[in-house]
Amino acid sequence: MSTFKKTLFAFLIFFIQILILDHLPLSWGIQINLFIYIFLCLIPFNYNKTLLLLIGFAIGMLRDLFTFTYGLYAFASTLLMFLQYYYFRLPQFNKYRKADKLLYANSDLLGWPGFLLYITIFTIIFSFTTAIIEYFTTWMYLRLLFIIKEIFFSILFICIAELIRSLLFHKEAIGRASE
């Protein structure tokens, strides 16, 4: 699949999530924003810092425009991209700094333990940021149990989505390598 088709498919999924599946409700009283996590995690981490911040801000602002949350996701997405930039500057990621192609965090690149650590850290940061801003601006009390459930189910669904992605696209990469 070409890069253009993958990008077009990604934006189509993003708009479906915004317009149809906004705050995917679960039966335990929580709602998750699954696809914004996936989009933020799929931004290549070896872009320069300014471009990462602009992309994070644009994705968050696009989400805010459709859901009328007035900068909530723009702030959280920009914060996440800022932290992601420095996360991948840690010494264990030195081998990726000089890569010629764009790299994004996935289970094939980081391995499942590294990917789970990455997803857990950034889902916690994103969820707490959005929840704290949303609850404090509406003068509601901080519902810690709901935030913890949201984080748990977000991590679970992102891992399921990553497993599906790795099964679909990893087979494609193996097929091209054998030709």
pLDDT tens for each residue of 73-102: 899 999 999 999 999 888 888 877 777 777
Strands of the chain, DSSP E: 24-25, 31-32
- Predicted local distance difference test score (pLDDT) of residue 17: 61
Contact 150, 31 (CB under 8 A): yes
Tell whether the model's pLDDT for residue 176 goes beyond 70: no
Burial (CB < 10 A; 0-12, 13-18, 19+), residue 157, is middle
pLDDT tens for each residue of 43-61: 888 888 999 999 999 988 9
Place of tokens 């949350």: 69
| pTM beyond cutoff 0.85 | no
Mean pLDDT of the chain: 76
C-alpha span between 149 and 154 (Å, rounded): 8
176/81: higher pLDDT? 81
pLDDT tens for each residue of 101-121: 778 787 888 888 888 888 888
Indicate the domain borders of the chain: 32-178
Residue 178's pLDDT band (cuts 50, 70, 90):
very low
Residue 174's pLDDT band (cuts 50, 70, 90):
very low
Highest mean pLDDT among 53-57, 64-68, 126-130: 53-57
Tell whether the model's pLDDT for residue 139 goes beyond 80: no
